Amino acid sequence: MNLEDLVRLRRARDLVDRDYAKPLDVPALAHAALMSPGHFSRSFRAAFGETPYSYLMTRRIERAKALLRRGDLTVTEVCFAVGCTSLGSFSSRFTELVGETPSAYRARDHREGAAIPACVAKILTRPVRNGEARSTTPPVA
């Protein structure tokens, strides 16, 4: 993969990071990367190790976890706040990535992690797909 393609793919990934709550799909992301949808999907997976949709849902679930830890929004409100349009799909994906339902996650006591800096908490609480290993030590800066 050439450097120009990587720059374009990072532009699309940055769009997902910034606008995760907006309606995003592969054609829109491919347009941002100036690529055809098929080429974009294949290149994105090759560069980042996951599909564009999977990356988008991981960002949404990360944000949902933060909103649920606050405890002032319902699961339904969080679902729509992060850009999901189906509570059932959101709950299924959340459970798959986090290992517990959004309601159970919201009900759990999160005070012990409150003192952890946000940059470290993001790494430690990142959703993990089935088959991926989670590191038990934070990365060295």
Contacts of 134 (CB under 8 A, 6+ apart): 128
pLDDT at 135 over 60: no
Task: Report the distance separating Cα 91 and Cα 82, nearest Å.
Answer: 12
CATH topology of domain 58-124: Arc Repressor Mutant, subunit A (1.10.10)
Domain ranges of the chain: 3-49, 58-124
Do 16 and 29 form a contact (C-beta atoms < 8 A)? yes
The 10 Å Cβ neighbour count of residue 96 is 13
Task: Report the distance separating Cα 100 and Cα 83, nearest Å.
Answer: 20
Task: Give just the sign of the alpha carbon dihedral 50, 52, 55, 57.
Answer: negative
Residue 95: what pLDDT?
A: 95
pLDDT digits (tens, 9 = 90+) for 86-128: 999 999 999 999 999 999 999 988 777 666 666 666 666 666 6
pTM exceeds cut of 0.85: no
